[in-house]
């Protein structure tokens, strides 16, 4: 393969994905490893990068653009947050220590209510690059789901919800682990649960225990239980995020099952949402960052 | 010591507590072990009981009264739930297999909304034995907090909340584990957090992530973080349980720090709650069960 003109990195807590890129923003090759920020010490980042794509780095400096938790305080180099309202990509990027030419995109912060993001700002930038002039609200489902209000190319405000991490913690480390195993799914149960907590969000904690009780008393199956757990949590998130999405143009980042659940739940509220592929917007955001860096 | 007339057992998921009792309901001696239901197979219960108080069981049959998860499907013998509305102690009790004379108190169930309790029904019975004629609402904080509406000696309805288990799962298995370590505490932060989710329960999931963000951005300390986590969860529970406690006579079972937090949070809402010692009400309930069994 030809040597890339630059390297794009999405470097999160649990994973590292790298793309060898052409100057025009096309992908030559994609690679990934499990060398996420969470398992690396300060001296582990350069070896992890060389392990993934050392051959791309031979024979002269190749610019590297990275986003995600690699820029956290426990990461390779802390990239101080840019404070909203601001454009999703804030220069200057942070240079990682060492001989490689690695630029890390800073995350965004919000003072009140206190909130932070790292990595999602690059998705926002990519979405805007692919949809110039787009105003509205972006939903980015995940461990810490983000809702961002975009206007005139800036992130005006945003809010994070621990929905994904709650689902994981409850599925694996609570009494519900006995109820939600397997891979079955029940769409109707999901819809009902979303509706319950969206209209009565205070019912979340009781609804969670009710999943266990319904299994004991009524033989509720694991597919229904898992769909109810997901629905109760997403419904509560939608209730809290309502000031964001109500009456707004909505984009959901992600093409997988989780993003589809958000789109389904929003549609049931009469709020149509467009879906965008997460990898595509991440790459578009890293490409936008690379162009921005080339200009400065 | 003298041989007990009967033995009282509180046999939960993680612990076994036994009391050697006199016929008049006085404690001769208390013992406990870690042989909770969760670590015992079907054949493990009798040896666990003999390991704790084999000497009390020598020289003739000694009646044993047990409450808690020992009566679950995975316990020593399944004690079918009694369905509310009903008195907290429903006879007949379930006889455990084997030679020992062990009677297990059944838990309570509610069909709609689906809910169950095992062990708390004995606390309710004990509270009523110590406070004859009491009508009102009992709050029993814990991994699965219970609120029970009592009238004319019966449990009319009840509701469980996964508050304690959410606190534990989030403290140990989410990004908040970085924020809430140690033993510091911040009363004002607790009060503020209770007030937030009590008035706006939909803010829970965002408020949880905000604990992490406030640590990163504003250097919020672990005592404030832990108090906020507790307050957000208890506030959301109080919001959901409001139909139970509003305008009612309230009793909180427990004398420890957790029960005090519930009393503090209720007091801030102008709802004074009486506290009752959990061990005392459990023993009073087991004693009431022993008398009931002696009569039948």
- Whether A93 and A185 map to the same domain: the answer is no
**Which CATH number belongs to the domain containing residue B143 in this structure?**
3.30.420.310
Same domain, yes or no: B176 and B96 = no
CB contacts < 8 A (A, B): 143
Report pLDDT for B54: 94
Contact list in B for residue A172 (CB cut-off 8 A) is 173
CB-based contacts of B166, cutoff 8 Å, min separation 6: A166, A170, A174, A205, A208, B233
Question: Do A174 and A94 share a structural domain?
Answer: no
Please name the helix (run of DSSP H) or strand (run of DSSP E) that holds residue A146, with its range, or none: strand A145-151
Predicted confidence at residue A48, as pLDDT, reads 97
* Average pLDDT of the residues in B141-167: 96
Mean pLDDT over B148-165 rounds to 97
A68 and A172 both lie in a single domain: no
Question: Which of B206, B212, B218, B219 to mutate: most A Cβ within 10 Å?
Answer: B206
Tell me whether residue B252 is in a domain. Answer: yes
For residues B123 and B26, membership in a common domain is answered with no
Contact A276, A113 (CB under 8 A): no
- A154 lies in a domain? no
A179 shares a domain with A101:
no
Is the CB of residue A169 less than 8 Å from the CB of residue A233?
no
| Chain B residue with minimum CA distance to A144 | B209
pLDDT band at A60 (very low <50, low <70, confident <90, very high): confident
Q: How many angstroms away from the CA of A49 is the closest CA of chain B?
A: 25
- H/E/C letters for each residue in chain B? CCCCCEEEEEECCCCEEEEEECCCCCEEEEEEECCCHHHCCHHHHHHHHHHHHCHHHCCCCCCEEEECHHHCCCCCCCCCCEECCECCCCCCCEECCCCCCEEECCCEEECCCCEEECCHHHHHHHHHHHCCCCCEEEEECCCCEEEEEEECCEEEEEEEECHHHHHHHHHHHCHHHHCCCCCCCCHHHHHHHHHHHHHCHHHHHHHHHHHHHHHHHHCCCHHHHHHHHHHHHHHHHHHHCHHHHCCCCEEEECCCHHHHHHHHHHHHCCCCEEEECHHHHHHHHHHHHHHHHHHC
Task: Write down the H helix ranges in A250-277.
Answer: 257-268
Interface test with B, best of A13, A202, A203, A215 (most B CBs within 10 A): A202
In this model, does residue A276 exceed pLDDT 90?
Answer: yes
Contacts of residue A110 in chain B, CB cutoff 8 Å?
213
- pLDDT by residue (tens digit) across B185-194? 999 999 999 9
Q: Quick check: is B289 in a domain?
A: no
Mean pLDDT of chain B: 95
Q: B197 and B135 in one domain?
A: yes
Look up residue B93 and give its two tokens: 């009790």
User: Do B123 and B239 sit in the same domain of this protein?
Assistant: yes
Does residue A140 lie within any of the structural domains? no
pLDDT for residue B205 is more than 90: no
Predicted confidence (pLDDT) at residue A86 exceeds the cutoff of 80: yes
Answer yes or no: is A293 within a domain: no
pLDDT bin (cut points 50, 70, 90) of residue A296 is low
Q: For residue B296, what pLDDT band results from cuts at 50, 70 and 90?
A: low
Please check whether residues B27 and B130 belong to one and the same domain.
no
Q: What is the mean pLDDT of residues B110-131?
A: 97
Q: According to the model, what pLDDT value does residue A166 have?
A: 93
CB contact under 8 A, B144 and A209: yes
With beta carbons under 8 A apart, name residues in chain A contacting B205.
Answer: 161-163, 166, 233, 236-237, 240
In a domain, B295, yes or no: no
Q: Are B77 and B145 members of one domain?
A: no
Give the long-range contacts of residues B269-277, CB within 8 A, separation 24 or more: B269/B198, B269/B238, B271/B245, B271/B246, B273/B139, B273/B245, B274/B250, B275/B251, B276/B127, B276/B130, B276/B251, B276/B252
CB contact under 8 A, B205 and A113: no
Q: Which two tokens stand for residue B161?
A: 């909340």
Domain C-terminal end among B91, B111, B131: B111
Of B79, B111, B143, the one marking the end of a domain is: B111
Crossing angle of helices A222-240 and A163-173, rounded to 10°: 150
What are the tens digits of pLDDT across the range A29-46?
Answer: 999 999 999 999 999 999
Point out the domain boundary residue: B79, B95, B111: B111
Among candidates B109, B208, B236 on the partner chain, residue whose Cβ is nearest the Cβ of A217: B109
Q: Give A-chain residues touching B111 at CB under 8 angstroms.
A: 217
* Residue A31, domain member (yes or no): yes
Read off the CATH number of the domain in which B35 is found: 3.30.420.300
A133-to-A125, A141, A153 alpha-carbon distances in Å: 12, 23, 7
Question: Residue A214: which of B114, B143, B159 has the nearest Cβ?
Answer: B114
Same domain? A178 vs A84? no
Note down the domain range covering B66.
1-111
Q: What confidence category does residue B2 fall into, taking pLDDT thresholds of 50, 70 and 90?
A: confident
Decide: A273 and A253 in contact? Cβ < 8 Å.
Answer: no
pLDDT, residue B255, reads 79
Residues A254 and A190 in one domain: yes
Give me the number of domains chain A comprises: 2
> Chain A contacts of B163, Cβ < 8 Å?
205
In a domain, residue B250? The reply is yes
pLDDT tens across A252-274, in order? 999 789 999 999 999 999 999 99
């Amino acid at each position: 393969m030809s040597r890339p003109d630059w390297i794009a990195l999405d470097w999160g807590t649990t994973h590292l994905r790298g793309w060898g890129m052409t100057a025009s923003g096309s992908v030559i090759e994609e690679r990934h490893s499990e060398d996420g920020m969470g398992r690396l010490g300060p001296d582990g980042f350069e070896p992890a990068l060389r392990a993934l794509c050392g051959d791309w780095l031979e024979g002269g400096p190749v610019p590297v653009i990275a986003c995600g938790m690699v820029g956290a305080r426990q990461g390779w180099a802390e990239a101080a947050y840019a404070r909203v309202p601001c454009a999703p990509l804030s220069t200057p990027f942070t240079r990682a220590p060492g001989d490689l030419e690695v630029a890390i995109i800073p995350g965004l912060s919000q003072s009140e209510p206190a909130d932070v993001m790292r990595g999602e700002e690059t998705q926002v930038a990519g979405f805007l690059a692919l949809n110039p002039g787009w105003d509205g609200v972006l939903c980015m489902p995940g461990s810490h789901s983000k809702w961002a209000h975009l206007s005139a190319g800036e992130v005006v405000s945003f809010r994070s919800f621990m929905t994904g991490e709650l689902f994981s913690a409850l599925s694996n480390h609570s009494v519900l682990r006995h109820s939600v195993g397997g891979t079955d799914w029940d769409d109707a149960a999901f819809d009902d649960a979303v509706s319950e907590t969206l209209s009565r969000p205070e019912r979340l904690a009781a609804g969670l225990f009710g999943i266990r009780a319904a299994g004991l008393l009524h033989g509720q199956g694991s597919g229904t239980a898992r769909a109810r757990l997901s629905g109760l949590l997403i419904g509560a998130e939608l209730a809290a995020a309502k000031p964001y999405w109500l009456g707004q143009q909505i984009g959901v980042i992600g093409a997988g099952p989780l993003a589809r659940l958000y789109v389904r739940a929003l549609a049931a509220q009469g709020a149509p949402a467009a879906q965008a592929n997460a990898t595509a917007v991440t790459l578009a955001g890293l490409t936008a960052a690379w162009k921005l860096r080339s200009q400065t």
